[in-house]
Structure 1
Amino acid sequence: MNKNVNILVLATLVTACQNQKTIDPAPAITLLPYPETRKGDVVTNHFGVPVPDPYRWLENDTAADTKTWVDAENEVTNNYLKQIPYRDAIYKRLERLWNYEKFSAPFREGDYTYFYKNDGLQNQSVLYRQKGEDGEVEVFLDPNKFSTDGTTSLAGIAFSKDGSLVAYQISEGGSDWTKVVAIRADDKTVIGDTLVDVKFSGLAWRGNEGFYYSSYDKPKDGSTLSGITDQHKLYFHRLNTPQNEDILIFGGSSTPRRYVGGYLTEDERFLIISAANTTSGGELYIQDLSKPESPIVNVVDNFEKDHAVIDNDGNKLFIYTNLNAPNGKIVTVNAEDPRPEKWVDLIAETDNVLSPRTGGGKLFAHYLKDATSLVQQYDRTGKLERTIELPDVGSVGGFGAKAEDKELYYSFTSYVYPPTIFKYDIASGKSTLYKASGVDFDPTQYESKQVFYTSKDGTEVPMIITHKKGLELDGNNPTLLYGYGGFNISLTPSFSTSNIILLEQGGVYAVANLRGGGEYGEKWHLAGTKLQKQNVFDDFIAAAEYLISEKYTSPEKLGIAGGSNGGLLVGAAMTQRPELFKVAFPAVGVMDMLRYHKFTAGAGWAYDYGTADDNEEMFRYLYAYSPYHALREGTAYPATLVTTADHDDRVVPAHSFKFAARLQAYHAGSNPVLIRIETKAGHGAGKPTAMVIAEQADKWAFLFQNTGTPYVE
């Protein structure tokens, strides 16, 4: 490098440093008094143990006094957050980071290719289409026009086999209750009436006659937000007929099941019905639609394992199952006699967890290997054709296509690899870049590595830690530890635009793959359920202790976060080890473990949790760790920002309301313990971009303020 270039580089660096502005955390923030939350005298007796529930009244989400309480809590929270000096700067930085075009992988339906795109800060992504590869691009559906404030979203869409008809679901305010609209694809004219009161449903067309969908009866007792939804039903809706004439296919009082789903094989010959009472394990049924009045045949008659028909060649069914294979395998069977005793292994179980897809006449075995993706391509006889070369170590999505397709698309991401779409040639196995991410992020400045740490009982648990290269391990880095640990759900590496805020400020982001998840199959999942649930919390606490012992951070710099079941995780960790964390973010959490099963479809979570009604041992176990009940008067808890939403009809906001009320009453320290309650939002899906950015800005501002971290603009 010549002398003039050296001078130019130095001048550029000096100018950049001069343009940087460091904003220190507020030396003191005036915290308004917490609302005076009245206490009731409700006491429930469980196996001779009286359990006070003074905040039971907050379960009534439609009551005026609950709304008054919500408004008062939000006033305290907003007053605190607005005093954080860099809150606005973080919000503006997030807006800039979010403001780039985002694309989905394209998919073909009929004569058109469809794809989703967000121009940058649009509240909802727009569905576009074009005829062929060179046709004019046009807007097909714009969910931003569903409502003026962007809180109504597209919750699902399905095309008929020839692509001429479309059914799509609309969610209002983030609710799981949706409406279904059917239209003609060519001119987008609406067909018949809008279906209402649909919940936890896919949409599956049968020819051009109509489609299958699932729903519950609206609750008669309690509100539609919190009332129990128990008997799921599969219906067939024939186009241009009233919804009250829809045909009940399965479920209801004759075969009561909590979760029922229906879908068709690609050739539309078989209707596949899954039926379950909990979130794991279920029955499997098929109906041969090529034969008039054919019966629904029970393939698996118990709820012990998971099964799905993934494809067929005429009478030959391809089934994914974890029966006698905890990590999953693929079997085949003749539909004329599909009993499990007749199943023949096609792709055997391996040491890695299987999640298969199909496309182009091939089977794609997506495996999890230490919580990262490994994909192999097989032919229809079960012969391995190739292991697909991926761009890096991370997570893939996709590898699904129609039977006649010659190519497919997949996405790849990691904690330092922004989501990127690749086109894959099925015959040659060649991947080519289709759409790179436009996010303002330089991956070469950061590193992400996997470590294994030892939990309380000696179990080795994986964790991926991400930060700037050259990070000094001096225990002084602001750190956010994230976890979930439940329902067989695997946390795999994924890029987060929001996390750039932490990383570029020299922070550390860590994700622990706790027991209860699906990273190592059924055994890993079961090791974090029911009377083994404490393993999950122990794994999370051990992850925090590892980060501290290895000098990534310290208790004064460490925050923890998790949502839904992960909110329960954070609530349990902060009540069991309050001194270990400085900041806690329990989001839409399950906080009352004695009553979770009495709201919406919560009883279906009993496979993971058990219930307080099961027996005395289960009650006492739940009572011991239930975050709402585990709070202790006179204890100093971490700075806490509970987050929930008024339209969350999956984990009802009463969980967070009651937890926050008792936390504020019992907390003895100087840390703020607040609750942020979003309005016109639900459990998280379909949340408009503006709302997401505002929530994330508040989260990072709260973390930095309470860990004493300056913010560099």
Structure 2
Amino acid sequence: MPMTELNFEVMDEEVKDYARKQTYIFKQKFNAIFEKIRPDIKPYVYQKKVKSVELTRTAQCFVTVENGNNNLIVNGKEIYSTSGIIVWIKPEKEGDRIALFETSGSDEGILRVFSKDKQIYTEKGFVHDIIYFYDRFYLIREKRDENISSTSGSSNGVYLEEKYLFGKNIASGMGLSGESYGDEIIIHAGNNISTELYIGEIGNPTTWKLFKKYKSQVKILDYENEILYTLRFEGNGILTVGEKEYPLDEPAEDAVRVKEGFLVVHMRDAKSIPVLYSSDCKKIKEFPFTTYKGLIAMASDNKRANLVMGDFGTTFNIYSYSEGQIEQIEKNEVSKFNASEDWVNVNGKNVHYFFLQANRETRNTLVYGYGGFNISLLPSYNNLFAYLLNNGVNVVICNLPGGGEYGEEWHKLGMRENKINVYESFQAVIKKLKKEGKRVICYGVSNGGLLSSYTLTQIPEYIEGAVIGNPVIDLMRFHRLLAGQYWVSEYGNPDDENDAIFLKKYSSYEQLKPGKYPPSLTYSRMSDDRVHPAHALKFYDKLISYGNEAYLMIGEGGHLGSGLEDTVDETAFIASFIEYVFSKNSNM
């Protein structure tokens, strides 16, 4: 079957019709399995979850997901509820305003600002932050076109109402955020490997000048009495107090200021451990957990702190920190799973993974990975995984190079020309499991979709199938599509002839050659305005042109997700594909 001549990057009606037709074919084939398992999956999706937390001297804010809605809870009271997705919230540190950004799953959405529980402002667009000052506020907006050159300047800018004030000299691929500190403002410009901080008078943008540049990611913890407090993601992490630097002994996932000094969440073999430090960064005490936990979010008012933790069977655990003590105040446990950890040696480095044992003895195993952008895969609840574990499928979660589990050097080990380390590590885990008699389906989403698609092209004989979610796949074109300019620092620049050499070697689209591959499901969403659906469409089209058993599912919503009923459907169809693959020639 020849490849179609459609230009998938334009996403015109012809392309959309093709996507709908192929999705219909997939759903018709799997409908019987889907109808059987959908009712069982729905309770896993509809579990109460806590997505984020913010804390000021006057407001304790949570975003929860319950009964199909995202809810903003302030001081125990529901301020706003939506069937959409609340992506971020930001309360005013010294005031009563609070903003939230809501979407249907895409990056574009609606900003809502509340004051004393009443909505006072709305705006549609790509809004990434709000900076309160006096009775006004700045917005950080992004202008995003479908095709963007990575050589252009940043598409982010700081605005007062409709007036563009700051950002024209910020490089392409740098995101912007900001915060007010009394009469001063700090603008943070950064990507996954570098940061620039600009400081000036809050009401006078002409004074906003470059203060410091760093060759790392930086989180601002506070700015008080002209002293800047930060967590720099270099090595295991460096706490800074003004010009004083305090390197940490273990990888840091996050940190906040508290009354005693700092509360840092360290990662110990991809498990979260809160540790209290004094103001001069001497370790005071640890707060160990009895089960594997992973940080979801944390916030402080510089005295107290709230932490939201997840684990494999619990959607959330809320902890409150004060006066040297941590107390659990709420949790939602769904299931208890037998979780263990193991390692595989790859080129002299140990690669850690979690093995989650299914509720019955089985060889069938889903292997999940990500490996990029300094993102750590810590213990957390996953709708699909919880269902599979309770229905006879093991789940393995890999902590690959490119993530942040072992500090910035671990991240760099999986970037750019080193990306091959991510692939080799993932393949090593799969080969080890196969040697132990497991039957494997590989799975990854977004950057992880690149991982699972590449794995399909390289070691088809070791896997029973592949699930490829919302993927980045064509690494020779990614920088031209939607938000791709932001990933050049991670992957490399295809317009650079030296970068193009290694990018072509680990671009799944380039590596897909005529041949026989195991069954695959590639899925994306029609309104994904971060990772263009063309990646999924092109890869699927190439697979079937070579005569392979491949399936495509293009759903509603965007990169961040969709409504809960759509999420139930998507999860159930993915689970249907997994059940189908493992049932083929099964001899469990």
Matched letter for residue 384 of structure 1: K
Q: What is aligned with 1:683?
A: 559
Q: What is aligned with 1:625?
A: 506
Q: Is contact 1:101–1:438 with CA below 8 Å preserved after alignment?
A: no
After TM superposition, list the pairs within 5 Å mapping 1:326-365 onto structure 2: 326-333=235-242, 343-345=243-245, 347-353=246-252, 355-360=254-259, 362-365=261-264
Matched letter for residue 116 of structure 2: A
2:488 to 582, 588, 606: 606
Q: What is aligned with 1:235?
A: 158
2:310 to 413, 416, 425: 413
1:37 CA displacement: 5.3
Matched letter for residue 511 of structure 2: A
1:366 to 265, 283, 296: 265
- In structure 2, distance between residues paired with 1:316 and 1:624: 46
1:607 CA displacement: 1.9
2:446 matches 1:564: yes
2:43 matches 1:96: yes
- In structure 1, distance between residues paired with 2:151 and 2:30: 35
Q: What is aligned with 1:318?
A: 229
| Runs of 5+ unmatched residues, structure 2 | none
The superposition leaves residues 460-510 of structure 1 with CA deviations (integer Å, 9 ceiling, x where unpaired) of 1111101147x65xxx52110000011111111112233222112232100
Q: What is aligned with 1:209?
A: 136
Q: Is contact 1:447–1:467 with CA below 8 Å preserved after alignment?
A: yes
1:695 CA displacement: 1.0
The superposition leaves residues 580-611 of structure 1 with CA deviations (integer Å, 9 ceiling, x where unpaired) of 11111111111111111111231221222113
Q: Greater Rg, structure 1 or structure 2?
A: 1
| Runs of 5+ unmatched residues, structure 1 | 1-33, 40-54, 131-136, 145-151, 238-242, 334-342
Q: In 2 relative to 1, CA 185–427 (structure 1 residues): closer, same or farther, beyond 3 Å?
A: same
Q: Is contact 1:309–1:319 with CA below 8 Å preserved after alignment?
A: yes
Q: What is aligned with 2:120?
A: 190
- In structure 2, distance between residues paired with 1:215 and 1:658: 31
The superposition leaves residues 418-449 of structure 1 with CA deviations (integer Å, 9 ceiling, x where unpaired) of 4222233x2141x333112153x2x1xx3111
In structure 1, the residue corresponding to 2:467 is in which secondary structure? Answer: strand
- In structure 1, distance between residues paired with 2:17 and 2:51: 41
Q: Is contact 1:105–1:409 with CA below 8 Å preserved after alignment?
A: no
- In structure 2, distance between residues paired with 1:223 and 1:621: 23
Q: In 2 relative to 1, CA 640–550 (structure 1 residues): closer, same or farther, beyond 3 Å?
A: same
In structure 2, the residue corresponding to 1:392 is in which secondary structure? Answer: coil
The superposition leaves residues 120-167 of structure 1 with CA deviations (integer Å, 9 ceiling, x where unpaired) of 3x1x2222445xxxxxx65411213xxxxxxx4333232223442233
Q: Is contact 1:360–1:401 with CA below 8 Å preserved after alignment?
A: no
Matched letter for residue 286 of structure 1: I
Q: Is contact 1:228–1:600 with CA below 8 Å preserved after alignment?
A: no
Q: What is aligned with 1:42?
A: none
- In structure 2, distance between residues paired with 1:550 and 1:189: 58
2:404 matches 1:518: yes
Q: In 2 relative to 1, CA 496–217 (structure 1 residues): closer, same or farther, beyond 3 Å?
A: closer
- TM-score between both structures, scaled by the size of structure 2: 0.92
2:79 matches 1:140: yes
Q: What is aligned with 2:8?
A: 58
Q: In 2 relative to 1, CA 170–692 (structure 1 residues): closer, same or farther, beyond 3 Å?
A: same
Q: What is aligned with 1:251?
A: 167
1:316 CA displacement: 1.7
Q: What is aligned with 1:297?
A: 209
Q: What is aligned with 1:268?
A: 182
After TM superposition, list the pairs within 5 Å mapping 1:573-612 onto structure 2: 573-612=455-494
1:561 CA displacement: 0.6
Q: In 2 relative to 1, CA 106–328 (structure 1 residues): closer, same or farther, beyond 3 Å?
A: closer
- In structure 1, distance between residues paired with 2:309 and 2:113: 33
In structure 1, the residue corresponding to 2:332 is in which secondary structure? Answer: coil
In structure 2, the residue corresponding to 1:573 is in which secondary structure? Answer: helix
In structure 1, the residue corresponding to 2:262 is in which secondary structure? Answer: strand
1:514 CA displacement: 0.9
In structure 2, the residue corresponding to 1:544 is in which secondary structure? Answer: helix
1:109 CA displacement: 5.8
Q: In 2 relative to 1, CA 683–354 (structure 1 residues): closer, same or farther, beyond 3 Å?
A: closer
Q: CA RMSD in A?
A: 2.8
- In structure 2, distance between residues paired with 1:138 and 1:483: 38
The superposition leaves residues 239-258 of structure 1 with CA deviations (integer Å, 9 ceiling, x where unpaired) of xxxx32x351x212x44443
1:96 CA displacement: 2.9
Matched letter for residue 323 of structure 2: A
- In structure 1, distance between residues paired with 2:64 and 2:291: 25
In structure 1, the residue corresponding to 2:182 is in which secondary structure? Answer: coil
1:436 to 331, 338, 343: 331
1:571 CA displacement: 0.8
Q: Is contact 1:229–1:601 with CA below 8 Å preserved after alignment?
A: no
In structure 2, the residue corresponding to 1:400 is in which secondary structure? Answer: strand
- TM-score between both structures, scaled by the size of structure 1: 0.76
- In structure 1, distance between residues paired with 2:206 and 2:311: 47
2:106 matches 1:175: yes
- In structure 2, distance between residues paired with 1:613 and 1:119: 45
Identity of aligned residues (%): 22
Q: What is aligned with 1:336?
A: none
Q: In 2 relative to 1, CA 518–667 (structure 1 residues): closer, same or farther, beyond 3 Å?
A: farther
Q: What is aligned with 1:22?
A: none
Q: In 2 relative to 1, CA 202–710 (structure 1 residues): closer, same or farther, beyond 3 Å?
A: farther
2:216 matches 1:284: no
1:452 CA displacement: 0.8
- In structure 2, distance between residues paired with 1:256 and 1:104: 31
Matched letter for residue 173 of structure 2: R
Matched letter for residue 452 of structure 1: W
Q: Is contact 1:110–1:164 with CA below 8 Å preserved after alignment?
A: no
In structure 1, the residue corresponding to 2:36 is in which secondary structure? Answer: helix
1:528 to 394, 414, 421: 414
Matched letter for residue 510 of structure 2: H
Q: In 2 relative to 1, CA 169–69 (structure 1 residues): closer, same or farther, beyond 3 Å?
A: same
- In structure 1, distance between residues paired with 2:398 and 2:563: 28
2:349 matches 1:459: yes
1:76 to 19, 25, 44: 25
In structure 2, the residue corresponding to 1:612 is in which secondary structure? Answer: coil
- In structure 2, distance between residues paired with 1:522 and 1:264: 25
- In structure 2, distance between residues paired with 1:105 and 1:624: 38
- In structure 2, distance between residues paired with 1:436 and 1:74: 38
In structure 2, the residue corresponding to 1:309 is in which secondary structure? Answer: strand
In structure 2, the residue corresponding to 1:202 is in which secondary structure? Answer: strand
Aligned residues: 586
Q: Is contact 2:469–2:522 with CA below 8 Å preserved after alignment?
A: yes
Matched letter for residue 264 of structure 1: E
- In structure 2, distance between residues paired with 1:101 and 1:293: 43
Q: Is contact 2:376–2:403 with CA below 8 Å preserved after alignment?
A: yes
- In structure 1, distance between residues paired with 2:478 and 2:511: 15
1:398 CA displacement: 4.0
Q: Is contact 2:399–2:405 with CA below 8 Å preserved after alignment?
A: yes
Q: Is contact 1:157–1:203 with CA below 8 Å preserved after alignment?
A: no
Q: Is contact 2:483–2:529 with CA below 8 Å preserved after alignment?
A: no
In structure 1, the residue corresponding to 2:177 is in which secondary structure? Answer: strand
2:10 matches 1:38: no
Q: What is aligned with 1:308?
A: 219
1:625 CA displacement: 2.7
Q: Is contact 2:170–2:189 with CA below 8 Å preserved after alignment?
A: no
Q: In 2 relative to 1, CA 564–116 (structure 1 residues): closer, same or farther, beyond 3 Å?
A: closer
2:390 matches 1:504: yes
- In structure 2, distance between residues paired with 1:645 and 1:229: 27
1:662 CA displacement: 0.5
Matched letter for residue 10 of structure 2: N
Q: In 2 relative to 1, CA 213–644 (structure 1 residues): closer, same or farther, beyond 3 Å?
A: same
- In structure 1, distance between residues paired with 2:372 and 2:53: 32
Q: In 2 relative to 1, CA 230–77 (structure 1 residues): closer, same or farther, beyond 3 Å?
A: farther
1:349 CA displacement: 2.9
